[in-house]
């Protein structure tokens, strides 16, 4: 029974890591930017959801919408006002990484100033474990995490393989000049991929805060 318990716990944690990693991988694969500040989008989404749901006492749908908006807006603004100017001046891969690293430090300190340095968590009935068998405890969040990962990975696969924008993002990762030849804007596609990649961390951020 212990092995089964560890397996379930491992699946939940692995799904959370995968939800975070897939957004980073999508951004890096399409733009070749080592988006170190991707973790900041995760943190922003978690704290915005916590503030709206636990502090302001908003409905969870409102809190979810706020977390999505904050994470996506962060990704878009970072791409537009930090990465794009560096790329226009032919900044190197390392320059982009240092800029992303600096943004991550700034976000960390701003969140520390606003919310403090102590540990906070989101209180929800879904976090309570249920004994489904003798010695086997599973929380509803475990199932939600795995389902979210499956749905998001399936939706992303369909998006990249079946939609025009998804195919353009795949082309952007291979040859940006070819994208321009077909009348598409690599800058606009970069904004889309940052928005999409930042969106991917929201479920993991909320579930981590509630675990």
Give a yes or no: residue 123 inside a domain.
yes
Q: Using a pLDDT cut of 90, give the percent of the chain over it.
A: 48
How many CB atoms neighbour CB 43 within 10 A?
A: 21
The predicted model gives 147-155 an average pLDDT of: 91
Per DSSP, 163 falls in state: S
Give a yes or no: residue 31 inside a domain.
no
Is 90 exceeded by the pLDDT of residue 208? no
Q: How far apart are CA 4 and CA 136, in angstroms?
A: 8
> Could you tell me if 209 and 46 are in contact, meaning their C-beta atoms sit under 8 angstroms apart?
yes
Q: Using a pLDDT cut of 70, give the percent of the chain over it.
A: 98
Give a yes or no: residue 144 inside a domain.
yes
Q: Tell me, what's the pLDDT at 76?
A: 95
Give a yes or no: residue 51 inside a domain.
yes
Give a yes or no: residue 140 inside a domain.
yes
Assign 76 to helix, strand or coil. helix
Q: Tell me, what's the pLDDT at 211?
A: 62
User: Averaging pLDDT over each range in 27-41, 62-76, 87-101, 116-130, which range is the top one?
Assistant: 62-76
Could you give the number of structural domains in the chain? 1
Domain range for 91 is 2-26+37-210
The predicted model gives 145-160 an average pLDDT of: 91
Q: Tell me, what's the pLDDT at 146?
A: 87
Give a yes or no: residue 32 inside a domain.
no
- Token readout for 113 is 């100033």
* Residue of 158 and 91 predicted with greater confidence: 158
Q: Tell me, what's the pLDDT at 133?
A: 72
pLDDT digits (tens, 9 = 90+) for 53-103: 988 989 989 999 999 999 999 999 999 999 999 988 877 889 999 999 999
Q: Residue 131 belongs to what H/E stretch?
A: strand 130-133
* Residue of 156 and 129 predicted with greater confidence: 156
């Amino acid at each position: 029974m212990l092995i089964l318990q560890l397996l379930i716990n491992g699946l939940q944690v692995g799904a959370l890591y995968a939800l975070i990693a897939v957004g980073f991988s999508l951004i890096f694969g399409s733009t070749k930017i080592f988006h170190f500040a991707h973790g900041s989008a995760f943190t922003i989404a978690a704290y915005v959801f916590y503030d709206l749901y636990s502090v302001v006492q908003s409905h969870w749908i409102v809190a979810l919408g706020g977390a999505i908006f904050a994470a996506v807006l962060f990704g878009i603004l970072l791409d537009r006002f930090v990465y794009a100017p560096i790329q226009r001046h032919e900044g190197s891969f390392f320059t982009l990484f240092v800029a992303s690293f600096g943004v991550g430090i700034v976000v960390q300190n701003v969140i520390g100033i606003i919310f403090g340095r102590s540990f906070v968590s989101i209180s929800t009935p879904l976090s309570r474990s249920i004994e489904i068998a003798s010695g086997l405890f599973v929380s509803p969040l475990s199932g939600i995490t795995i389902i979210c990962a499956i749905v998001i990975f399936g939706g992303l696969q369909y998006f990249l393989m079946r939609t025009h924008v998804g195919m353009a993002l795949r082309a952007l990762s291979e040859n940006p000049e070819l994208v321009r030849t077909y009348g598409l804007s690599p800058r606009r596609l970069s904004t889309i991929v940052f928005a999409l990649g930042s969106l991917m961390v929201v479920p993991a951020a909320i579930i981590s805060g509630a675990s």
